[in-house]
Structure 1
Amino acid sequence: MTIQVGDKIPAATLTTMTADGPGPVSTDEFFKGRKVVLFSVPGAFTPTCSAKHLPGFVDHADEILAKADAIACMSVNDVFVMNAWGKSAGVEDKVVMLADGNAEFAKALGLEMDASGFGMGLRSKRFSMIVEDGTVTQLNIEEPGAFQVSSAEHALTQL
C-alpha cells in the first residue's frame, strides 16, 4: 500500500557517506522533530535526475532551507554512487544524499517500481514529500516519464 498524507514514515535504515565512510541513517531519527523535504529519483546519474531533479534542489536550497530543516535526495543506488553523484552535482551540505541500496525504504513506502525493462531492476518512483516530525504532510508522485510535481519549484509552493 502506498504511503498517504497523514501517515507516519516507516522505520527503515538508509545509508549516507560520512567522513568515516558509509553510515546508517535511521528514518525514525532523521525525520524526528523537523521538517524535511524528501525527493526520490529512479537513479543517480540518469538523464532527468541529473539534468533537472537534483540540480533544481541544489539551486533552490537556500529558499527551501529557509522554510524547512533539511533536503534529502533518495535513490535505489549504493552509497558510493550517491556520494559521487552528490559531489558531481555540487550538493555540498545543501542536500543529504540517502542510499536505499536494496529498495527497502521504497518498498516500505509503497513507491517502488520495476525498471527491469530498462536494465535497472527494482527502483523508486520519482516523487517528493514534505515530512514534519515523521508525518507526511505533502506527497507528490510523478506519472511514469513525467517530471513536474516532484520538482524543487513545486516543493517551494507547498512549504
Structure 2
Amino acid sequence: MTCTDFRLLAERRAAGFPLKARQEKALERHLAECSTCAAVARFEHNLAAAVREFPAVTPPADFADMVLAQLPDPVAVPEPSLREYWWNLTLGVLAAGAASWALWQKAPSWIPWLTGEKERTQIADILFNAYMSMGEVSLPTMSVVFLALIGLTAWGASALVAGER
C-alpha cells in the first residue's frame, strides 16, 4: 500500500465510514511500517473527534428568509421577439445556401475515398471559414445549418452514386 492509498482510506475511516476487513488489515500494516502516515492517522482521528464534539447548531427559524432578503431582485429577461426568430432563421437558410454552393463547387472532394488529401483539406477550409464568419449564432440557426449540411451530404452522395454529376 502506498502512502497516498493509506491517506485516502484513513480519511474515510476517521470520518466514520466503514472499511472492509482487508482494507483495515492493510491500513494497520502500513501504520506499523510508516511513521509519517501514523502521524497523519493520529491527526485525522483527533480532528474528526474534535469536530464530533462541537454542539449541533440550529439556525434561526427565519434564516432562509434572511438569506433570501439579501439576494438581489431577479432580473426580467425579455422573450425573444418574432423578428429575432425570423432573422436567425434567415441567417441559417443563407448559411445553408452558402454551404450548399461550396459543396456543389467541390462535390467530389467531400467524399474522402474519391479524392486526395488536397481536396479534402480545401472543403474543410471552406466549411471552417463559413463557420467562423457566422460569429455568435443562436441554437435555432445552428440546427438549421447542421440539418442542411446533413441533407446536402445525403443528397450529394446519392447523386454521385447514381452518376448524376
TM-score (norm 2): 0.23
Q: Which one scores higher on RCO, CA 8 angstroms, separation ≥ 6?
A: 1
Name the one with the larger helix percent. Answer: 2
TM-score (norm 1): 0.24
Specify the structure having the higher radius of gyration (Cα).
2
Name the one with the larger strand percent. Answer: 1
